[in-house]
Amino acid sequence: MQSFIRALTGLARIATGISFGVIIIAVLIQLAGRSGLITSVVWTEELTRFALLFLTAFGVGLSYRSGNLVNVDILSESLPGRLPWILRLICAVITCGFGLVLIKATWFYVSIGARQTAPSLGVRMDWIHASVLVALISLSLFAGLRVIGMLTGATDGTPERLQEDQ
């Protein structure tokens, strides 16, 4: 199970990094075009927006895993005994369940994009709308892994901070 989590985390980090790299390149091209170094191109604006969507989609699961999403743990962690563990489990179950319930509707949203095309890039919008599906799957998967880890005793459900942060 740990090797699966490491592989999934690595894949999400690589995809997040690639998305961020695309944003950097697109913005550099925009700056070069606006400063007169090259002819200004219109597709960079659209590419930046789309890359930001995928950056968010791939990064949301990592943020959930590391505890960097908005959390109200100041309340839950101050409770006595086993209550914080129970609240973390309930929240992980709700997060996973909510994401899984939305997948069918999101798939419909993605399929609508097959009939649309991005104006300047000419990309079918279902590829872009898929970022929402990736975000839901990523968040649900990492929340589900937290639930499994908590129920098997492999983790207590607290966010898994990076080694550098500890």
Examine residue 166 and state whether it is found in any structural domain, yes or no: no
Look at the chain and report how many structural domains it folds into.
Answer: 1
Examine residue 88 and state whether it is found in any structural domain, yes or no: yes
Query: Can you tell me the distance from the alpha carbon of 52 to that of 73, in angstroms, rounded to the nearest whole number?
Result: 28
Name the maximum alpha-carbon separation found in the chain. 64
Per-residue pLDDT of the chain (166 residues; tens, 9 = 90+): 788 989 999 999 999 999 999 999 999 999 999 998 999 888 999 999 999 999 999 999 999 998 888 776 777 778 888 899 999 999 999 999 999 999 999 999 999 999 999 999 999 999 999 999 999 999 999 999 999 999 998 888 888 764 444 4
Examine residue 164 and state whether it is found in any structural domain, yes or no: no
In sign, the C-alpha dihedral spanning 58, 133, 5, 85 is: positive
Examine residue 165 and state whether it is found in any structural domain, yes or no: no
Query: Can you tell me the distance from the alpha carbon of 16 to that of 95, in angstroms, rounded to the nearest whole number?
Result: 21
Q: What does pTM read for this prediction?
A: 0.85
Closest to 47 measured CA to CA, from 34, 28, 32? 28
User: If you count them, how many residues does the chain have?
Assistant: 166
- Residue-number span of the structural domain to which 114 is assigned: 2-159
